[in-house]
Amino acid sequence: MGCVTALAAGASVLPAGCERSVSRKAVLQSLVQHLALPDAAAIVRETKALESALAQLEREASATSLQSARTTLQHALIAWQRAYAFRHGPIEDSRALMHAAFWPIRSSAVEHLVTGPQSIDDAFVSELGVDSKGLFALEHLLFAEPTPNTTWMLGTVSTRACALASALARDVSRHAERVAHDLARGDFQRNFANAGQDSLNQVVNQMLATLETIAADRLGRIASMRSNQRFEMRDVQGAQSGLSVDIPLAWLTTTQRVYLGLERESLATLVKQVAPQVDVQVRAVFAGATAALQALPKRLDDSDVATTHALEAAILSIKDLEVALKVDVASALGVTLSFISSDGD
């Protein structure tokens, strides 16, 4: 009897070479301890740094303090985007991710907040719709040029723009702290681990959904706009801050972290225990997909042939990885697939 067959049959003793030294429960616990918790701590750390940088910009608006705030925002955005690729438990249940990192925003609504008459305070910001606040609203405030060679933060409305930016950052910080607090209580970790196969199903299906978002919605959208010569920066997530490639790369690398985990407490270990050749293949496909995204230029809005080929190669590499997870990993782990890709594969 083969390893997969024995597992499916619920055998109490597995064939030689198939002994399971790591349980699903241990792997799920490890995902929370060594991925979700550290990532939540990074979110709090980077968001607090952003809050501090924007407070400094509000006190003394200058080109130097603006550049510091921009850099800090980039770090905070990537920290939150890592959580998107493992959005289980408090990060999603509390709607923190939606409030902190909703995209696309309504840039016109954000601009109206800068030029409007409303009094800006934390209570006012907390009541705003998710498409008018959060990190991508901050991206627009910090990077957009309302007129050539001007910025909201250093222009005629800089005092109000800086006050709004600080209030937006404080709102994001509150969501970050809530997620870290709820994760630290341990309820989610226990429930997530005790759910066993159901949680494993959720993890793999979410991995697939993340890869589909990269290939079809982010890179695919850029490829389509380029081919139709209708590229607009506002239609590309992270384009204003120069993160249009870094964001999908953060999703991919986090998805790889979900698979690799710790050396002995990971999805990779579970796969290796029943189908070692699948684990070798999946690691190679992950490496190829990562290399393909890293080969992309920082800006994807030009029309040169090299960029076109690099974008096509990146999309294909992500689709190859999606197939490997959907067919081989899902089979090895006995995962019930609920995810359906947009192309029906």
107 and 249 in a common domain: no
Domain boundary among 138, 159, 188: 188
Q: Is residue 12 part of a domain?
A: no
Q: Is residue 342 part of a domain?
A: no
- Count of structural domains within the chain: 2
Q: Is residue 13 part of a domain?
A: no
Q: Report the pLDDT value the prediction gives residue 343, as an integer from 0 to 100.
A: 57
Q: What is the mean pLDDT of residues 127-148?
A: 94
92 and 224 in a common domain: no
327 and 282 in a common domain: yes
249 and 147 in a common domain: no
| Residues 66-85 pLDDT 10s | 999 999 999 999 999 999 99
Q: Report the pLDDT value the prediction gives residue 341, as an integer from 0 to 100.
A: 65
CA atoms within 13 A on the CB side of 48: 9
| Residues 45-67 pLDDT 10s | 999 999 999 999 999 999 999 99
pLDDT category at 12 given cuts 50, 70, 90 is very low
Domain boundary among 132, 163, 188: 188
pLDDT category at 3 given cuts 50, 70, 90 is low
Alpha helices in the chain (DSSP H): 3-8, 24-31, 37-59, 63-84, 90-93, 96-101, 107-115, 122-126, 135-143, 158-185, 187-194, 197-212, 220-227, 246-260, 267-274, 276-294, 305-324, 330-333
Q: Which residue has the higher pLDDT, 234 or 216?
A: 216
Q: What is the mean pLDDT of residues 307-313?
A: 91
Q: Report the pLDDT value the prediction gives residue 11, as an integer from 0 to 100.
A: 47
| Residues 247-306 pLDDT 10s | 999 999 999 999 999 878 999 999 999 999 999 999 999 999 999 999 998 877 666 777
Q: Report the pLDDT value the prediction gives residue 13, as an integer from 0 to 100.
A: 43
Residue 313 is part of which domain span? 196-333
Token pair 């250093």 is at which residue? 154
How many CB atoms neighbour CB 23 within 10 A?
A: 13
205 and 110 in a common domain: no
pTM, whole model, 2 decimals?
0.90
216 and 179 in a common domain: no
List the CATH number of the domain containing 107: 1.20.1420.20
208 and 172 in a common domain: no
Report for 7-11, 259-263, 325-329: range of highest mean pLDDT: 325-329
